[in-house]
């Protein structure tokens, strides 16, 4: 059996692997700091082996080492950008959790963030876990893997580049992530503002009340009530954020391909 057909696929396999590796580093779930790097590498290798036979190979593959290295760098950076784009929904939800935790007086309680391996507030981790559950419930991991495979049809090997369109996509998704954080945190921020106004009136009318000590407990109780009452709203906003991110990424692929 001749090995020549197999050897011809080696450059294409390397390029596919580097695009997948970039996505695995930054994508939600797959890029978690809790997943060992060796597992990520094996997973990317397995996906590359499965995808290479069905991926359209460029007519002219790089012949020199430097040209192949440039192609690998381009595929890796493109994979990093797309993985980061989808991960911005998680970032927005955690931003909202940090803001709410600070307003409720829970910012001092720091626990491990399972996605990034850093410390975060209790509310931020709760929002991350809620976002993670919605990601799985919406079959986001399946849609992500299908999108990775479709990206090779829309943007063949060596055609992906970090151009103005991809930069605009990242900026737009960052703006959407910031808007998502504000949407999630707005009910609590408004409730805390009303609570502060009420405490201010109480402090003026009844100076014998220790507003500072009573305010900490009251802000925490009001914040917990708002969080529980708005859980359905929170889930809908995060789910809409996922749908919007996937739509923007798909439109960006079509735009670059066009």
10-residue stretch averages of pLDDT, the chain, 258 residues long: 55 82 80 76 84 72 72 80 80 83 70 59 80 81 78 72 66 78 84 81 74 72 81 80 75 58
Strand partners, 111: 120
Q: How confident is the model at residue 153, as a pLDDT?
A: 76
SS3 content of the chain, % helix, strand, coil (to 5): 75, 0, 20
Q: Which domain holds residue 212?
A: 4-257
Q: How confident is the model at residue 1, as a pLDDT?
A: 42
Q: Write out 219-256 in H/E/C secondary structure.
A: HHHHHHHHHHHCHHHHHHHHHHHHHHHHHHHHHHHHHH
Q: Number of structural domains, the chain?
A: 1
Per the listing, tokens 């709410």 go with 100
Q: How confident is the model at residue 3, as a pLDDT?
A: 46
Other C-beta atoms within 10 Å of 146: how many?
A: 11
Residues 49 and 44: their CA atoms lie apart, in Å, by: 9
Kindly give the residue spans of alpha helices, DSSP state H, lying in 118-163: 122-137, 140-154
Residue 110's H or E segment, with its range, is strand 110-112
Q: Are 13 and 46 in contact (CB under 8 A)?
A: no
Q: The whole model's pTM is what?
A: 0.73
Radius of gyration for the chain, computed over Cα atoms and rounded to the nearest angstrom: 23
Q: How confident is the model at residue 160, as a pLDDT?
A: 62
Q: How confident is the model at residue 87, as a pLDDT?
A: 82
Residues 194 and 200: their CA atoms lie apart, in Å, by: 10
Question: Tokens for 237?
Answer: 């906003």
Residues 49 and 34: their CA atoms lie apart, in Å, by: 24
Question: Could you say which DSSP state residue 52 is in?
Answer: G
> Closest Cα partner for 35 from 104, 159, 123, 132?
132
Per the listing, tokens 């999630």 go with 184
């Amino acid at each position: 059996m001749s090995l020549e057909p197999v050897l011809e696929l080696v450059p294409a396999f390397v390029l596919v692997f580097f695009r997948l590796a970039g996505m695995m580093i930054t994508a939600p779930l797959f890029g978690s700091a809790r997943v060992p790097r060796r597992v990520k590498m094996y997973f990317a290798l397995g996906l590359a082996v499965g995808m290479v036979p069905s991926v359209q190979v460029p007519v002219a593959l790089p012949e020199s080492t430097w040209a192949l290295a440039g192609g690998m760098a381009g595929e890796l950076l493109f994979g990093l950008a797309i993985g980061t784009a989808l991960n911005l929904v998680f970032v927005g939800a955690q931003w909202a959790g940090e803001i709410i935790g600070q307003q409720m007086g829970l910012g001092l309680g720091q626990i491990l963030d399972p996605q990034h391996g850093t410390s975060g507030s209790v509310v931020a981790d709760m929002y991350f876990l809620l976002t993670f559950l919605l990601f799985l419930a919406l079959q986001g991991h399946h849609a992500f893997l299908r999108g990775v495979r479709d990206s090779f049809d829309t943007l063949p090997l060596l055609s992906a580049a970090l151009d103005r369109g991809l930069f605009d996509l990242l900026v737009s998704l960052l703006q959407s992530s910031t808007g998502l954080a504000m949407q999630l945190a707005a009910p609590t921020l408004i409730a805390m503002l009303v609570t502060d106004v009420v405490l201010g009136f109480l402090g003026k009318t009844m100076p014998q009340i220790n507003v500072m000590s009573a305010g900490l407990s009251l802000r925490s109780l009001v914040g917990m009530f708002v969080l529980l009452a708005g859980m359905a709203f929170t889930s809908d906003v995060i789910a809409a954020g996922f749908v919007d991110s996937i739509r923007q990424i798909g439109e960006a692929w079509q735009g670059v391909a066009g």
